[in-house]
Amino acid sequence: MPAPKRTPPPARIHIQYPQPVVDAGRYPAKRTVGDSVEVTCDVFRDGHEKLRAVALYRRAGATDWAEAELRPLDAHHNGVRWGGTFVVDEQGAWEFSIQAWTDVFATWRDEFARKLEAGQDQLASELSEAVVLLGDVAPRAAGADRKLIEHTLRVLGDEEILEAARHDAALGLELHAAVERSAARHGQTTLEPPLRLEVDRMRARFGAWYEVFPRSWGGLAGVEAQLPALAELGFDVLYMTPIHPIGRKNRKGANNALVAGPDDPGSPYAVGAQEGGHDAVHPELGTTEDVRSLCAAAAEHGMDVCMDFAINASADHPWLTDHPDWFHRRPDGTLKYAENPPKRYQDIYNVNWECDDWRGLWEEWRRVFLHWVDCGVKAFRVDNPHTKPIVFWEWLITEVHAVDRDVIFLAEAFTKRAMMRQLAKIGFTQGYTYFTWKNSRQELTEYVDELAWGPERDYFRPNFFVNTPDILHGYLVHGGPAAFYTRFVLAATLSPSYGVYSGYEHYENEPVAAGSEEYLDSEKYAIRARALDGPMLPFMTRVNQIRRENPALQQLTGVAWLETANDQLMAYVKQHAGNAVICIVNLDPHHAQEGSAIIPAQLGLPPAFAVTDQLSGERFDWRIGPNYVRLDPWARQAHILRVEPR
């Protein structure tokens, strides 16, 4: 095969396995404003030449690239993995690439130094090479760099100066740095195409969510009245279940009964009645103006309002009259209600995504979402997004973000991991997780490792809900109050974002039947008189304060597990930006457990150090190696220990 007909010759530098990257660049990796993006890649070429590399980065659409230097991560063993960081300081789309080149002068300098170390003499030819290289760089340099290079050229050309002095001048560190700043990039190679980053606001990664049924709090005005207290408790997001009119036909009764009584309010997930559909507010809850008022008041308290969005319709939804083709019908003409055997949802109908007017259906959903965005809603918890077309969500989220980039999308998708991952890749800001069903030390360790250290860490942001209106886990049913403290601490310290459904602070744990995860007298089908007066609230408040005070708890990564010699004690360290927090949690809600939390030397902590329990204020002396711990459900169920600076 003939040689390629091109000038200059083909590149000899190879750039491989860049990170962060999602599906070879098909989807953007995710970061938040202020994050340091760690870039790594393999950089190598044939031969023994010295290389240099930088990360190029910019806001999408910007003309100029900024640069961050990359350095070998394993220089002692001549490794090829390089790394460096840059900071993303604005929200929106970013892109980055990697550029590498041969450092001709560094290559000459290294070879020359090794010849001197070997005792070789008669190196005049080598010095002449340096003169040529420096002569090429000098015109490119400016200021002090140019003066230093020109001075060195004069020294190298003066044969009256001792040879050893000329050697020292050629090998000077300041000269090397000056040349690096100005030399041409020989054999420059750039990774193409650039890789993408999506940068969100901080709340996309870190926040505490509190879920309410507005009808149990006196409607929207009643919910708004709770905002000062919720802000004082340290919650960042007020999450409301659907607030729309509720269908009357096929309405569910108490505890999911098929026939509703005259006073049963029905499920708020059966959206739509003669009063309106997804763009309307249930008259008993308030008005659209009340939504605007609620969102504005939340913003004044530094909080966001999240709206629960269920893409289905009751039999009374206006769309069944205006757009009957948007719904599934059986061959006999009857509507097909929603079901997931053996579960049956006789009060709702799913839309037909493959109808002839699918474009009109998509556009209407966009209009509805943007209507609530215009009212000030900053987050949407989407009900079962995995049962709707993924391409629809990718389109819709892009459309909404074109109007308001602050909007957060939370995927309530308890389904296959592949689907949960894909929803995150195409734009969902956060996702529900399997945390509720991970209760043993082994289960938790394995699952958090997958989230924090696996490929998902670059795009999947978990939200560890401790409970939901649909999920009352047996651990809470049988564990009593201590179990509630255990799960709360785990959720709030392992995940930057967590959520709690109201009633948790009252230790509500009575299922509708043995083995069921449904609550007895579920709020989905009944109105409960709610108030912020649960006995667990002071503890929640303190934990939320601890989270805000410790950057390590605001990150998913940086977690390391500690051996305890007792599987009922869950112990781990989270570290970030010089902040280290040690958490020990008793997984046994019925008995005291004791063991030794073993601090390994590789964590980088001092041989001996002080820790302060952020829950109790107590101070302890800890060290590398074993540290005795005893946790009693009737006294304390967890330690949250901050490592104090020396």
Active site residues: 383, 412
Q: Which among 504, 448, 450, 520 is positioned nearest to 208, based on CA atoms?
A: 504
User: For residue 588, what are the CA distances in angstroms to 564, 566, 631?
Assistant: 14, 11, 9
DSSP of 263-280, one letter per residue? Answer: T----TTSB-BTTBSTTS
* H-helix or E-strand spanning residue 300: helix 288-300
268, 241 contact by CB (below 8 A): yes
- CB 65: neighbour CB atoms within 10 A? 16
Q: What are phi and psi of 514, to 5 degrees?
A: -60, 130
Helix spans in 77-212 (H) = 104-117, 124-137, 143-157, 163-170, 173-182
Longest dimension (CA), the chain: 109
> Facing residues of 27 across strands?
22
Are 599 and 611 in contact, with CB atoms under 8 Å apart? Answer: no
Between CA 606 and CA 622 the distance in angstroms is 10
Handedness of CA 389, 394, 395, 397 (dihedral sign): positive
Per the DSSP assignment, residues forming a β-bridge with 575 are 580
Amino acid at 538: P
* CA–CA dist 55, 477 (Å, integer): 52
Q: CA-CA distance, 488 to 543, in Å (whole number)?
A: 9
Token representation of residue 30: 């995710």
Alpha-carbon distance of 180 to 56, in angstroms, equals 17
Residue 267 contacts residue 347 (beta carbons within 8 Å): yes
Could you tell me where the DSSP H helices lie in 309-462? Answer: 318-322, 358-374, 390-403, 417-425, 441-453
Instruction: Quote the DSSP letter at residue 517.
Output: -
Nearest to 95 by CA among 144, 147, 140, 29: 29
Quote the CA–CA distance of 88 and 552 in Å, as a whole number. 19
